[in-house]
Structure 1
Amino acid sequence: MMAASPSLPRPEPLTASWQRSREHGLRPDEALNDTALAPGELTDRIAANNRLLAFSRPMIEGLYRQIGSPSSTVLLADRQGMILSALGHTDFLDRASRVALRPGVDWSEAAMGTNAIGTALHSGTVVSVQGDEHYLARNRILTCVATPILAPTGGMLGILDVSSDARENLTHAEALLRTTAELIEHRLLETLDDGFLTLHFHTRRDALADPLHALVVFDESGRLVASNRKARAMLGLDAKHPATTCDACFATPWGTLVEWAAQTPDAPFPLYDLKGRTLIARANLRTRRRRNEGTRSTSVQREDSRLGAIGLGDERIAHIVETLRMNATTKVPLLIEGEMGTGKAHLVRAFHEDHKPAADAPLIGIDCSALPDGAAAEAEIERARAQAANGILFLVEIDALPTTLQARLFDAVDGTRLIGAARRPLAELRNEGRLDLRGFDAAGGQVLSLPPLRERSDFDALVCQFVREAAGGRPIYVCPDALTLLHRHRWPGNLRELRNQLRLMLALMGDEASQLCPEDIPPELFENAA
């Protein structure tokens, strides 16, 4: 068995990576497992990272020219370590493919041991792995450097890697790689289809012309929705969860920033932070971008995901989104409980859009309360199950079905995922004998509980999001007093009622209005609530 070379000391991060590689059950002399994604699966993976690929392509081409070596390749991997694209000279790409260094192959540490892509993915930092520092002996023909590409909203989008022949000198590649990753992040943030106000800032005035200055985006309430790594470093924000507010970052009041952005957009002004520093800043109000602007695809952008857009800061919603993502590759049945209007159907549509196994995988919905009784109901369900083959069958008001049918629903194993929904708590329905979920429990089903709007901690963010949707591209500032007033309503219709009321308010305000104020909220909203 071939082992590591004990005479070659490894940096501590790589020593830790070797230990993780052993814990994954890998051996240094592991035979090549050239298992790659099927073409259709790779196509879906590429579609899921469409924005990342589209905006990184010109930067990657520039990086490859700067590296200037025919024995190198520039690789882009997703946040799981799956290689999405490779750019390099044909001869070296052919050699790299012999160790499965090509699109469609998983280069996480669990699959390939210590390597630049997998180890950067684990550490979240720039990683260089040279020759014999690779855990798997077959990969020691390579020298690789990789860096994370950070998401505008926090966490990691993917990995950018330069791989070369082990005899090549890549000492100059690390700085080029880091700069390229930051340029990609900057472009992704600038084109983000979200936010109300963009703030550019730096300690020096001349640096505002540099594409790597600090950049943040706030929503109408002053909540941070996106930032680049320079801004996170200057403000001391967590790279994984950079959630904060304008007032928690700057001594300059939020209202003052809005005035600067509205009256003198992009004009430099002094910005005071909470550390006593005087920064130089530019601010402007954002106009809502078309969903596909700046890309070569006409499909819905999925890199930030429909599910991700649902999570605006409420911990329970974040847990639901994470549960759905964890179960995306299984056919585990799901049940969603939540009051009318809490977004059950919207959640299912987002889940289907993000994680459907194929482009034509169907989503079929049935209102069970409208089905006939007895055998006819079962026949309708079976017909719908056939239509939803390899997709999702969504059963609304599942408690309206006969309990004998409920008990058998989850017995079939046919590649179709069943998702049921109920307006009342499932525990209550079970206690009343209106729900028989023995088959659901036996199949390892997961229950998701959508909270009512009145209990959600992201109410302000939801208001701002719905106002943006209704404004049709106009920047509308939601006054803090208006948010306070909206909090007084109980919102029995939940998200649906909030969205409809805000649409009505904006329609009555007229096309010239730029602020939603307390006087724009109809008094009868609170009379009806009482």
Structure 2
Amino acid sequence: MTARLDSRPVPRLAGHADLIAHAHARSATHGLRRQDAPDLDRLPRSELELRREQHRTLLRQATPVMTELCRQLAGTRCMAVLSGPDGLLLHADGDARFLRRSEQVALQPGADWSEGRKGTNAIGTALATGTPLVVGGPEHFLDANRFLVCACAPIEDADGTLLGALDVSGDASSSGLHPLTPVQTAVLQMEHCLFLARHADAVCLAVDDRPQRLGTPAEGLLAFTPDGRGLAMNRAARRLFGLHPRALPPAFADLFDAGCEPEAALPHATESRTVRGRDGCDWLVRRYPAPAPVVRPPAVEPVAGRALSALQSGDPVINAAIGKLKRVLGKQVAVVLSGETGTGKELFARAIHDDTPGRDGPFVAVNCAAIPEALIEAELFGYEEGAFTGARRKGGIGKLLQADRGTLFLDEIGDMPTSLQARLLRVLQERAVTPLGSTRTLPTDFMLVCATHRDLRAMVDDGSFRADLYYRLNGLTIRLPALRERVDLAALIGRMLGAGTTTPPPRLSDAAAALLLGHDWPGNLRELATVLHTARCLADDGLIDVEHLPDELTTRPRLPPAATAVRLCEHQDRLVADTLERLGGNISAAARALGISRNRLYRQLARAR
């Protein structure tokens, strides 16, 4: 049924009053009193990062779903909150104005919203009962939380294990539909993604008796070993086959009259087909394709608090740039990243965000070159309903407001139309945004990181970029070197080959290593990642040889012929020796310059001997 974000009575599901009454009784047994002051305790940032790391899989699958949910709820002054199974808030996203108001009761990452700490509330009560529900106004046990109305649904693994909860909270005095149904739909999507991610190496099948449900988060999911042994099934599949929520997953042959192995019955079926079940019913079945292995650029998922350090691999220019960046983090210094296309500017921008005090806030990226000039103003500043032809009902929140308390990354800032540069300058000076068609000025505060492959100084000279904006942006300019200029190529290759896999990384033949080290890499890190990904797919036996590399690598050598025969390990040994010599044999300084631990450096020296 529908609940509303207003002060009028809210229609409830049957049994809701009893559920709230029992929750209030539990709250009293925890020693809470209605008039208690808000519990504003939050975990220290370091401890929160450790807890987030423990729930990394949940966060990875839930965050994009929450972003889309907030986009659907734009204009309703709501926020989406993700909690762990114990009620600890892990991530929050949504309306910047309400996010600020939520600080009054610590509805923020790091706070504990279990019933034991906050009394009856949507998150704690949904976790305690395993029931989706809406808790509004006076239904909260603590008076301090009565300005809230919240919809929450628990998130479960395929075996029924409680993983956390998704909540949407808003102001009880605001009007508008309260989204319990969208919350439940978002949870279904999260559970769907979690199932497929957890069983990525298995044979995963989608099954249903209704074609319109197949291909949606509501479809049944089954996971089998290649020989047909049952591994897992989601709640929808258990309902379809009439199985108990705690029953062991049956084998493929126990469900379908199609042989004992799913590989034989559905070898490459990515489109739905009809399969006869053991129960005599015809089931629509579709097989999910196995995910292709991905080679990521280095440090895609940096260690919390050390994201920039994780980008070090021995190049002194990169190391010096990271040293400068660390000294300005959290000090309201704008950063401009310059360099050729593919040198890792967005990778650095994300690392800067992950190391700032606002790392729990959003990271909002805008490619100024990719948005049509007619739309970029609305995209950045937002707009009110009816501000222009085709404007969405209830308007839209611009990127500048979405980035509040987080990081705004303006990629290709040199391509921003000059007509908007003055408006951006005013926002940066006043820390406030006026959406299109509005007279309201809304505060916003963010870390600004810009990137460009252009020479902004030259653009100022020729009049294509505003000088006042240039001087406002130019707090710290970092030039990222092209890959051909870096001395840590061997270390980068090794790191990228080993990224994103728990199996031993493929080996390089001497000839292949020589070609990789000798290429000038005009596409920089992006080109290198593509070449290694393709070679990794082609090298079935785990050895990458010349035949697995693009032909152009043999036609564009960077090093002189005498140097192309050097092996990858010899290149690493030479880099270590040169670094030690340059630093007078200081092991600690050399390890820092190379971006490795002292123990690893000692092992490298021992191997070289």
Partner of 2:48: 42
Q: Alignment partner for residue 119 of structure 2, among 113, 117, 128?
A: 113
In structure 2, how many angstroms separate the alpha carbons of the residues matched to 1:289 and 1:141? 48
Cross-structure match for 1:188: 194
Q: Please give the secondary structure, in 2, of the residue aligned with 1:191.
A: helix
Decide which of 259, 263, 270 is 1:266's aligned counterpart. Answer: 270
Question: Which of 176, 180, 186 matches 2:182?
Answer: 176
Secondary structure, counterpart of 2:92 in structure 1: strand
- Deviations along 1:342-397, one digit per CA (max 9) or x if unpaired, are xxxxxxxxxxxxxxxxxxxxxxxxxxxxxxxxxxxxxxxxxxxxxxxxxxxxxxxx
Residue 142 (structure 2) aligns with: 136
Distance (Å, rounded) in 2 between the aligned partners of 1:194 and 1:127:
32
- Percentage of matched positions with identical amino acids: 30
Structure 2 gap segments, 5+ residues each: 1-8, 305-500, 507-539, 542-609
C-alpha distance in 2, partners of 1:153/1:469?
Answer: 25
Structure 2 SS opposite 1:160: strand
Q: Which residue of 1 aligns with 2:22?
A: 16
Task: Give the TM-score, by structure 1 length.
Answer: 0.51
Aligned to 1:278: 282
Change in Cα spacing, 1:70 to 1:24, as seen in structure 2 (3 Å) is same
Letter in 2 for 1:278: D
User: Of 188, 212, 215, which aligns to 2:218?
Assistant: 212
Distance 1:129 1:86, change over 3 A: same
Equivalent-residue separation in structure 2 for 1:148 and 1:99 (angstroms)? 22
Distance 2:135 2:25 in 1: 15
Q: Which residue is 2:206 aligned to?
A: 200
Residue 291 of structure 1: how far off its partner (Å): 11
Q: Is the 8 A contact 2:158 2:234 kept in 1?
A: yes
User: Per the alignment, in what secondary structure is the counterpart of residue 35 of structure 1?
Assistant: coil
Counterpart Cα distance in 2 of 1:291 and 1:127: 42
1:16-69 CA-partner distances (Å, limit 9, x unpaired): 111111222222122222111111100111111122212222211111121233
Matched, 1:257 2:262: yes
Q: In the alignment, what sits opposite 2:445? A: none
Stretches (4+) displaced over 6 A: 7-10, 290-293, 468-473
What residue in structure 1 maps to residue 62 of structure 2?
A: 56
**Structure 1 contact 154–226 (Cα < 8 Å) conserved:** no
Aligned to 2:169: 163
**Structure 1 residue 96: Cα displacement:** 0.9
Matches of residues 415-434 of structure 1 in structure 2 within 5 Å?
Answer: none
Cα root mean square deviation, aligned: 3.4
Alpha-carbon distance change, 292 to 187 in structure 1, aligned in 2, over 3 angstroms = farther
User: Which amino acid in the other structure matches residue 39 of structure 1?
Assistant: R
Aligned counterparts of 2:300 and 2:191: Cα–Cα separation in 1: 18
Shift in CA distance, 254/131, structure 1 to aligned 2, threshold 3 Å: farther
**SS of 1:207 mapped into structure 2:** coil
Give the drift of 1:94: 1.7
**Cα distance, 1:134 vs structure 2:** 0.6
Question: How big is each residue's C-alpha offset from its partner over 1:114-170, in whole Å with a ceiling of 9 and x where there is no partner?
Answer: 110011111212111010001111111100000112224431221110001112356
Question: Is contact 2:232-2:249 (8 Å) kept?
Answer: no
Distance 1:146 1:284, change over 3 A: closer
Contact 1:197-1:261 at 8 Å conserved across structures:
no
Partner of 1:225: 231
**8 Å CA contact 1:288, 1:472 repeated in 2:** no
| 1:257/1:283 contact within 8 Å kept | no
8 Å contact from structure 1 (residues 78, 158) kept in 2 = yes
Task: Describe the SS at the equivalent of 2:189.
Answer: helix
- Report what 1:151 is aligned to: 157
Could you say what secondary structure the match of 1:98 adopts? helix
Q: 1:103 aligns with which of 92, 109, 126?
A: 109
- Check conservation: 1:81, 1:108, Cα contact below 8 A: yes
Quote the Cα distance in structure 1 between the aligned partners of 2:226 and 2:182.
36
Could you list the runs of 5+ residues in structure 1 that have no partner in the other structure? 1-6, 301-467, 474-509, 512-530
Query: Aligned partners of 1:141, 1:285: CA distance in 2, in Å?
Result: 47
Q: How does 1:296-335 map to 2 (within 5 A)?
A: 297=301
How far 1:266 moved relative to its partner?
Answer: 2.1
Corresponding residue of 1:27: 33
Q: Residues 289 and 12 of structure 1: is their aligned pair in 2 closer, same or farther, counting only changes over 3 Å?
A: farther
Report the equivalent of 2:128. Answer: 122
Question: Matches of 2:221 and 2:248 in 1, distance apart?
Answer: 14
Does the aligned pair in 1 maintain the 2:258–2:265 contact within 8 Å?
A: no
Q: Deviations over 1:169-219 (max 9, x none)?
A: 564401111111111121222222554311111112343233432111112
Structure-2 change in CA distance of 1:249 and 1:166 (3 Å): farther
TM-score by length of 2: 0.44
Q: Could you tell me how far apart the structure 2 residues matched to 1:12 and 1:208 are?
A: 36
Give the AA of the match of 2:257: T
Name the CA distance, whole Å, in 2 between partners of 1:19 and 1:104.
26
CA distance in 1, matches of 2:294, 2:247: 26
2:269 maps to a residue whose letter is: P
Q: Does 1:243 align with 2:248?
A: yes
The answer on whether the counterparts of 1:196 and 1:285 sit within 8 Å (CA) in structure 2 is: no
C-alpha change, 1:17 and 1:272, in structure 2 (3 Å) is farther
